[in-house]
Amino acid sequence: MDLTEVPGLDNLACPGGVIRAAQEKAAAFYGAARTFFLVNGASSGLMAVILATCRPGDEVLLPRYAHRAVFNGLILSGARPVYLETEWLTSPGLPLGVTPAVLARTLQAHPRTRLLLLVHPTYEGIVPWSKELIALAHDHGLAVLVDAAHGAHFGLNPMLPPSPLALGGDYVVQSTHKTMGALTQAAMLHLREAGAGDTIAAALNLLQTTSPSYLLLASLDVARLLAEERGRRDWGRAVARALRLREKLAAAGIPCLAPADVTGPAAAGLDVTRLLLPAAPFGASGSEVAAFLRRAGQEIELAGPDYILLIITPGDGAAKIKSLLAALLALPRPAGQLPPAANDKGGAGPGPRIAQPRQALTPREAWLAPRREIPLREAEGWIAAELIAPCPPGLALVVPGEVLTGEVIARLVYLRGPEGKVLVVDG
Amino acid 196: pLDDT? 92
Q: How far is CA 128 from the centre of its chain?
A: 13
Domain spans in the chain, listed from the N-terminal domain onward: 18-228, 232-329, 363-425
Amino acid 335: pLDDT? 55
- Overall fold of domain 232-329: Aspartate Aminotransferase, domain 1 (3.90.1150)
Amino acid 392: pLDDT? 60
- Spatial separation of the C-alpha atoms in residues 125 and 271, rounded to whole Å: 5
Q: What's the half-sphere exposure (Cβ side, CA atoms, 13 Å) at 68?
A: 17
Task: Report cis status (omega within 30 of 0) of the bond before 92.
Answer: yes
Number of H helices, E strands in the chain: 14, 16
> What's the pTM value of the predicted model, to 2 decimals?
0.93
Check residue 224 and give left, alpha or beta (phi > 0: left; psi -120 to 50: alpha).
Answer: alpha
CB-based contacts of 422: which residues, under 8 Å, 6+ apart?
Answer: 373, 374, 376, 379, 382, 384, 386, 388, 398, 404, 412, 416
- Spatial separation of the C-alpha atoms in residues 54 and 49, rounded to whole Å: 8
- Spatial separation of the C-alpha atoms in residues 227 and 72, rounded to whole Å: 31
- CATH superfamily of this structure's domain 363-425: Orn/Lys/Arg decarboxylase, C-terminal domain (3.90.100.10)
Amino acid 346: pLDDT? 41
**What is the dotted CATH code of the domain comprising 18-228?**
3.40.640.10
- Spatial separation of the C-alpha atoms in residues 269 and 260, rounded to whole Å: 8
- Spatial separation of the C-alpha atoms in residues 177 and 397, rounded to whole Å: 26
What backbone phi and psi angles, to 5 degrees, belong to 297? 85, 15
Amino acid 350: pLDDT? 45
- Spatial separation of the C-alpha atoms in residues 272 and 159, rounded to whole Å: 8
pLDDT by position in tens, the chain (length 427): 777 767 888 999 999 999 999 999 999 999 999 999 999 999 999 999 999 999 999 999 999 999 999 999 999 999 999 999 999 998 788 899 999 999 999 999 998 899 999 999 999 999 999 999 999 999 999 999 999 999 999 999 999 999 999 999 999 999 999 999 999 999 999 999 999 999 999 999 999 999 999 999 999 999 999 999 999 999 999 999 999 999 999 999 999 999 999 999 999 999 999 999 999 999 999 999 999 999 999 999 999 888 999 999 999 999 999 999 999 999 998 754 434 333 333 444 444 457 889 999 999 999 999 999 999 999 999 999 999 887 766 678 899 999 999 999 998 888 788 888 889 998 6
Amino acid 348: pLDDT? 44
CB-based contacts of 182: which residues, under 8 Å, 6+ apart?
Answer: 176, 216, 219, 220, 222, 223
Largest CA distance in the chain: 68
Please say whether the beta carbons of 99 and 267 come within 8 A. no
